[in-house]
Amino acid sequence: MRITDIECTTRRLPLHETWDGGLDHHDVLVTRVHTETGVVGTGLGWTPRVGIAAMRAIVTEDCSPLLVGRAPDPVPRWRELYERLHEAGPEGISAMALASIDIALWDVRAQVAGSSLVDLLGRHRDVAPAYGSGVNLDKSLPELLAQVRHMLESGHTALKLKVGSADTERDVERVARVRELLGPGGKLMLDANQRWDLPTARRAIDTLARFDPHWIEEPLPADDFPAHERLRASTAVPFAIGENLRSVRRFRDALVRGICDVAQPNVVRVGGITPFLRIAELAATYDVPVAPHLLPELSAQLALCVPLVSMVEDIDRAGLEDLGALSRPSGVLVDASGARADTGPGHGLEFAAS
């Protein structure tokens, strides 16, 4: 079986509410890999702010000529495309474009095998734990508490909220009120989204540690590993990092330095399913669980396949189906009872016409 054509379309998906910092949409690149037998695999590229046109150009101009006429085998094709795109930089836009092809090729392989993606990759579990999450730093305290009550009413006993306010006392008040609502037995995750420098992170974590955070996410700029090491020396609060680490090697370095207690790879940002699986296996050798970042319809499937899993993020009305991107339900569910997948052959993601 050979690849006959690569088709790319883009979609802009308006969010139901503006996220912190004024983000009001996500851009999606849909890549379809056509084969001579009629099997079509669908891949996904994603970016919340910039780069969608560049991603499409990389796929159509730089990748398609290398793929047409070749067998749709994801692992060797990923390696060849990675080497081709390395001149433009192995991370960032290049990796996100490559991801859309890699995901499509895995979809082809699963369909040909008559298997779901989860069972093709190797199902480790039928359900992965999930936590309720909100993009809520810009919300007022009453709005935040209303959001938290909604998540608790839906059955969540693990929650994540944003920190990193200019005034640390604002964070303290908000975390204290959420911990009060959640109760002492619930898991409470905090996400600073790289907003702190090292002195601020030390002071903030010292102050917030009394609320027993299950983890602190991205306390520092993602690429500043030496600062993470210095921060690690001053706190026992676990670090969750990885949504802005863009390669297997970056995760390797974080694990070796002991600054990654929960790994959060984004399947698109790291370059696709092929490198995501390598990251998950690498993390397992350090006894570090994986909590896939965003894209719940795909992240949930991967969470069922990794050796060690933490939790899947359940952001209200932020999935591809919630945003109107899909033409039919994917067969993936993420809610308070966990993340589950029953997709039929392939990964189950069928995108609506733009």
Task: Write out the catalytic residue numbers.
Answer: 162, 293
Calpha distance 201→207 (Å, rounded): 10
Measured CA angle at 294 (ends 206, 115), to 5 deg: 135
Say what the alpha-carbon torsion angle 123, 124, 127, 129 is, to the nearest 10 degrees. -140
Question: Encoding tokens for residue 139?
Answer: 């919300």
Pick from 157, 176, 196, 142: which is nearest to 311 by CA?
157
DSSP string, 322-336: TTT-BSS--SEEEET
The edge-to-edge listing of strands for the beta sheet with 23-35 is 3-19, 23-35, 40-47
The amino acid at 297: E
Calpha distance 97→30 (Å, rounded): 10
Q: Please identify which residue in the block is written with the tokens 């090697």.
A: 249
For residues 88 and 96, the answer to whether their CB atoms sit within 8 Å is no
Question: Encoding tokens for residue 284?
Answer: 């397992």
DSSP string, 45-80: EEESSS-HHHHHHIIIIIIHHHHTTS---HHHHHHH
Pick from 287, 296, 241: which is nearest to 268 by CA?
296
Q: Please identify which residue in the block is written with the tokens 């499409």.
A: 56
